[in-house]
Chains A and B, each alone.
Chain A
Amino acid sequence: MNGSGAVARYTLLELSRRRILLVFFIIGAIGIIALGGGLKVLYQVAASNPQSFASGSVDAATFNHFLELLFVSYVFQALAIFALLIAYAIGMTAIYHDLDSGSAVSIFSKPISRLAFAAGKILAAIVGLIVIVGLLALEARAVMFLFGGGLENALTGQLLAVVANAIVVMLIVLSVSTWINNILAAVVTFIYYNVVTGIIATVHMLADGGLIGNAAVRNVFDVLYWLVPHQLVSSAIRDLAKAQIEIAGGATSNQALASVPAPSGAGDIAWWGFTVLAFAGLVYYAVRRRQV
């Protein structure tokens, strides 16, 4: 589209000069190294003590595997949090700053359509998010070499899920911040996406797991569930929970895993695609209606 490439290019250049993204990235990067290094030191301390693995309840390999599991599950949480922070940081500024500063006045007087502008902004926001979260994930992947390995695919799957979820949040913030103040937009998005949707998804999951008996409640939440965006979940979350239970010596059952989200199915992924299109459409609509 005419002009959307230029909008995307210069929005990315601006993002790369924004200190807050750099700060998020550095904190994330240091956190991952510290976490991996710390767990590895823990292992070394345990291994250097001959008594540690003598009793026979855990051998060195199992312990190492356990630490790696621990690391990966923390990394999953950290990636999800940082992806969300970065999605908010980009979503709150990519379009809003142009509107708030008045830059949009000069930009919109140029021969660029609002569609091309919105497309360029969305493209830049998504690329920015993927680059930052991707670099953090690469770093986590490198740290995993410290351990035995074997969980790399889990990391990739979870990375995809985390980025996919963050894109939805970012598009919501982008569109809402085109109408209202960006801090309000973040609050509105947080309430909609992280609170309301979170509650609906959790109740729906519990109902699916058989923990809610009342059929009427189950039906209501079945309907609500398909009115809100779905957080995508990779199979890694359940695999990890299963492995942790096994390492602790327990037996895995459906009951024990009921509160651990099941991997997203094709329906959820299709629904995700639909929500991305819908919210991208909303961004365009907001940009188009906007007077500056």
Chain B
Amino acid sequence: MSYDARFRVWRGDADGGELVDYTVEVNEGEVVLDIIHRLQATQSGDLAVRWNCKAGKCGSCSAEVNGMPRLLCMTRMSTFTETETVTVTPLRAFPVIRDLVTDVSFNYAKARQIPAFAPPDLAPGEYRMQQVDVERSQEFRKCIECFLCQDTCHVVRDHESNKEAFAGPRFLIRAAELDMHPLDAREDRADFARDEQGIGMCNITKCCTEVCPEHIKITDNAIIPMKERVVGRHYDPLVWLGTKIGLRKR
């Protein structure tokens, strides 16, 4: 059940590169990462690719297959026809290091800007939380930090200049996660999302949700609720009035 597939893999580094053609064996049940490994082992030992778990759990093997951001280890060869040419390139929103490996430090820098979980005034072991209250944040904690959402988000993919002002979907769900954490002691997560993370840059076009391998409903469950919270704090005169006359707690 094996056949020879045609692959085009981007080879090169920051100074330049090109799509290189390969013909390589494919066996039943294999994923794109297997084929890249076969190329490494048989045709080009120095083909650079990141991976770890090969089970969609670590988010290392992010790249673009036929133009779409994907995990190489979770893209099955059976989704292509035998005659189709499979094109594999590095993520196109981040600087390339070599071949399929990109410099994703943008994401780590953004991660460091979000104020950390603010523990409540409780001793360890005294935390009590209800399952219904943790479930929303748990969805966002499924994130494997593959950064496919960051890669596909046009705000930064198509506008390098926005990288300064926009944190990207991965870190907007982090903001939502903390704001919905039943015991987080900070109250200003939504303000931070607006003022420092640039949530207003997102035009909710949902590409992040489309590519998330963990199927996190990034836009519907995190970004839009955060936008609504921002509205509640900044753009809603009724809420403002309510807090003024004491009908509503801050």
A, B: real partners: no
Chain A residues engaging chain B, CB cutoff 8 angstroms: none
